[in-house]
A and B are shown apart, each in its own frame.
Chain A
Amino acid sequence: MNQTQLLERGRKLLPWVAGGVLLAIMTGPQGRVGQPAYSISQALHPGHLFESIAITVVVGVIAQLWAARPAQVRESITQLRSESSRFYARREVRYGVYAALLAFAIVLPHIVGAYWQEVLVDKIGIFALLAVGLNVVVGFAGLLDLGYIAFYAIGAYVAAYFTGALPVQPPFILNDFYILFFAVAAAMIAGLILGAPTLRLRGDYLAIVTLGFGEIITILAVNLDSVTNGSRGAPGITSFSFHVFGINYDWGLSQTPYYYLLLVFAVVIMVAFHLLENSRVGRAWTAIREDEVAAQACGIPPVKYKLMAFAIGASTSGFAGVLYAAKISFINPSSFTVLFSILVLVLVIFGGMGSLIGPIVGAAAIQWFFAYVQKHDGAPIPGIGVKIPIHPEDIYLYVGAVLIIMMIFRPQGIIPSRRRAREIGLAEHGIGGADATGAPVGSPVS
C-alpha cells in the first residue's frame, strides 16, 4: 500500500475521530447549572477522550475493512444470506421460530428476579403492545405519528373514569374488561377527529399535528382539574378481575398474572394485525406506500385507508392505556409526556417497521437495555468489570441518536420486513415512495 492510499484511508477515518469526540462528550459527567463548562471539560479529559476515540476508530477500521472485503467473501455472504432467507421463508420454519419465541416468553417470568419481572410488565410488555400498534401506522401505512402516547393517555383516563377514580363519577362502574371497549372507542374517535382534517393534506403535517396533540393532552390532563384531578392524578383504579360461573379471579397488583394477560392480548393483536396486513386492507396500504397516485387511480381511496391505519394505531394505544392504568392503579399526567411517544417510535424503528416481530424484539431489546442501565447506574457489569458510561437521565440522548443512526445506516430495522426493506431500496433508486407522506424530499410540492 503506497503513501497516498494510506493518506486516503486515514482521511476516511476522520469522521470516526469526530464521532469519538462526540461519544466522549455524550458519556461525560452530568452538567451543572452553575458551571456550564464543567461537563465538557471533564468529558474532554485526555484519558476519557482517548478511550472514546479509540472505540470509534476501531469501529471505523472494521467498517472500512468490511466495505473493502474481497469478492470471494462478499459472494459467500450473499449466498449464505439468500440461503438463510430461503430457509426462513419456509412456513414450518417460520412458525417454528414463532413457537419457540412464544415458549420463551411463557417461561421468561419464572427464570428472572423480581426487578426484571416488573420490567417485563411495566416497561417491556406494555411498550411492546404500544409498538405493535404504532407499527400499523408507521410500518404498514407509512405515516408518522408523534403523539401516539396521547391515545394511551385517553385509554388510561377512560379506565380511571369507569372505575370511579376520577372526581367526575361515571353512571356505572365497570369491570376493566368492558372498559377496554370504551377505551378503544374513545381513542379511535380521537384518532379520527385528529386524522380526518390532517390526512387530507400532505402526510408530514400529520407528524407535527400529532406532536402538538401529544403536548395538548398533557396540558389538558393537568389543567382540567375538576375532571382529571390535575397533576395529583387519579389513584385507586381497580385491577382486572374475572367473575364468571362462580370463578372469581383478581389480577391484583402482582406482576406475573399481568404479564400473561399482556402476552395473551399481544399475541391476539399480533395475529389480528398479521391477518389484516395480508388482507385487502393491508394490500391497499402497500399500494399507497409504493405509489399513492397509482393506487388512487386503481380505485383505492388513500385518505380512507390512511385514516383507518391511524385509527387502528390509536385504538391499540388506548387499549394499552387501560392495561397500564389497571396494572399501576394510579395515573397522573406525567405518565403521558411526549417523550414516551418518541420512545415507542424508536422501538418500532429499531426493531423493523412493518415487520411482525420486529417491534416486539425492538421493545424487548431497547427497554431491557434501558432498564439494565437504570439498575446498574454507574456500577461495573458483573463478570466483565467494565462500566456502562450511560447515565439513566441521558436515555433520550441515546433514543435520538439511535433514530438518526438507524435512518442513515439501516432504515429497515434489525428484523426487517422483507417487503418494506425492498421498498426502501427501490425508493432510493427513484421507484415508489416507501411511505405515505407525499412526494419525496427535494421534489416540488404542487
Chain B
Amino acid sequence: MCFTSNFWSLTIDGLNNGFLYALIALGYTLVYGVLQLINFAHSEVFMSGAFGGLLLTQALIGSSNPTGLTAAGYVALGTLMGALVGAIVAFMLERVAYRPLRQRHAPRLAFLITAIGASYFLFSLAGHLFGRDVYPAPDLLSHKNLFSIGSRGIQAYDLLVAGSAIGMLILLDRIVAHTRLGQGIRAVAQDAETASLLGVNIDRVISQTFIIGGLLGGAAGFLFCLVNNVGYTMGFVPGLKAFTAAVLGGIGNIRGAVLGGIALGLVENWGVTCVRNSWRDVIAFAILVLILMFRPTGLLGERLGRSA
C-alpha cells in the first residue's frame, strides 16, 4: 500500500486536521439539528475566529519573542478570542440574516440563498478590512519533539489540538446531554412546534445553538492558523470538508460529526500518498458524493434531537 511508508506521520497530521474538521462540523450539525438548514456561512465563522485570535496574538506579541509560559498564555488567549469572535459572528448571522426569514416562514430556498450571500459578504468584508494577502502563522509554539510515536515526533501543536478539541467535545457532549440548555436544543431539534408549546423559547435556543457552534468553529479557526498561513478565503475549503464530515457521520448527530471529522482527516491524509497532494480536496469531495450515493444517512445515522 502507498501510505505505509510514513504511516505515523500521516496519521498524526490526519488526526490534527480531523479534530479541527470535527469542531467545525459540530457547528453545521447543531444548526442542522435545530433548523434543518445548511449554514453555508459557518465556514466564515471559522475564518472570523482565526482572524480574531490571530490579530489579538499579533498585537500581544508585538516585536517580542515569547517563549514558555508567556507563549502558552498567548495561545490560550488567542483561542478564547477566536471562540468569542466566532460566537459573535454566528450570533449576528442568525439575528440579522436568518431570523427575519424565520419570522416570515420564508421558503427554504431563501435561507440557502441568504446563507451563501452571508458567506460571501463575510469573507469579502474580511478581505476588505484586513487586506487580501496572506497572514503568516504566529510563531508561538516550539517545534521541539516532546516524544515520538513510530517515526513521528510529537510537538506541542499536536498535543494542543488533540487536548483542546477532546476537551471541547466532551464538554459539548455533557452540555447537550445534561443541562437545561441541552434539553432545549434537543427539544427544538425533535419538534420545534411542540417544544414551543411546552414553554421552550425557540428563538433563544436557536441563538444559543448558533453561539455554541460559533465558539467551537472560532476556536478551531485560531488553532488552524497557528500552523497555516491564512487569508480571507481560508474558510471555504475547511468548511466544505467539515460539512462532508458532518454528513459522513450523519447530519444532526453530534458524535457522528466528531467521528466523521476524524475519519475524513485520516482518509484524506492517507489518500494523498496514493495521489498527488493537490488532489486532497478532490478526495474529500469524492467521499461526500459517495456517501450521498450509498449511505446518505451517514455512518452513525441521522439522529436529530438525541443526546448522543
Contact = CB atoms under 8 A, between A and B. Distances in A.
B117 A440 contact: no
Interface string A333-354: 0000010001001100100000
Nearest to A427: B107
Contacts of B144: none
A205 B55 CA distance: 35
Interface string B276-308: 101101100100110011001000001010000
Given A439-B36, A444-B190, A36 B55 contact: yes
Contacts of A207: 38, 40, 112, 116
Given A208-B40, A427-B106, A442 B192 contact: yes
Interface string A195-215: 001101101110111011101
Given A345-B113, A438-B108, A445-B304, A36 B130 contact: yes
A287 interface: no
Contact of B38 (A204, A215, A439): A204
Nearest to A37: B55
A82 to B, nearest CB: 23
A434 B107 contact: yes
Interface string B108-132: 1111111011111111110111111
A411 interface: yes
Interface string A382-417: 000000000101101101111110111001000000
Given A400-B120, A433-B107, A441 B35 contact: yes
A28 B128 CA distance: 8
A443 B102 CA distance: 11
Chain A: interface residue count, which band? 35 or more
Nearest to A216: B285
Contact of B285 (A32, A36, A213): A213
B153 to A, nearest CB: 31
Given A36-B58, A404-B114, A430 B105 contact: yes
Interface stretch (A155-163, A218-226, A372-380): A218-226
A170 to B, nearest CB: 25
A401 B117 contact: yes
B236 A33 contact: no
A144 B285 contact: no
A277 B90 CA distance: 39
A396 B121 CA distance: 7
B124 A444 contact: no
A146 interface: yes
A424 B110 CA distance: 10
Given A441-B102, A444-B191, A212 B285 contact: yes
B292 A205 contact: yes
A291 to B, nearest CB: 12
B106 A411 contact: yes
B36 A404 contact: no
A437 interface: yes
B252 interface: yes
B37 interface: yes
B87 to A, nearest CB: 19
B292 A197 contact: yes
Contact of B121 (A401, A428, A438): A401
A143 B113 CA distance: 10
Interface in A13-50: 25-26, 28, 30-34, 36, 39-40
Contacts of A407: 101, 106, 110-111, 113-114, 117
Contacts of B171: none
A403 B106 CA distance: 14
B237 interface: yes
Contacts of B180: none
B163 interface: no
Contacts of B293: 197
Contacts of A428: 104-106
A222 B120 contact: no
B109 A144 contact: yes
A40 B129 contact: yes
Contacts of A280: none
A435 interface: yes
A212 B288 CA distance: 9
A142 interface: yes
Contact of B105 (A34, A203, A215, A429): A429
Contacts of B35: 441-442
Contacts of A401: 117, 121
Given A215-B237, A404-B97, A427-B107, A394 B292 contact: no
9 contacts: A31-B128, A36-B130, A39-B128, A208-B40, A396-B120, A400-B124, A439-B36, A439-B108, A442-B192
Interface of B: 35-38, 40, 55, 58, 96-97, 100-102, 104-114, 116-125, 127-135, 190-192, 236-237, 240, 243-244, 247, 252, 276, 278-279, 281-282, 285, 288-289, 292-293, 296, 302, 304
Interface of A: 25-26, 28, 30-34, 36, 39-40, 138, 142-144, 146, 194, 197-198, 200-201, 203-205, 207-209, 211-213, 215-216, 219-220, 222-223, 338, 342, 345-346, 349, 391, 393-394, 396-397, 399-404, 406-408, 411, 424, 427-430, 433-435, 437-445
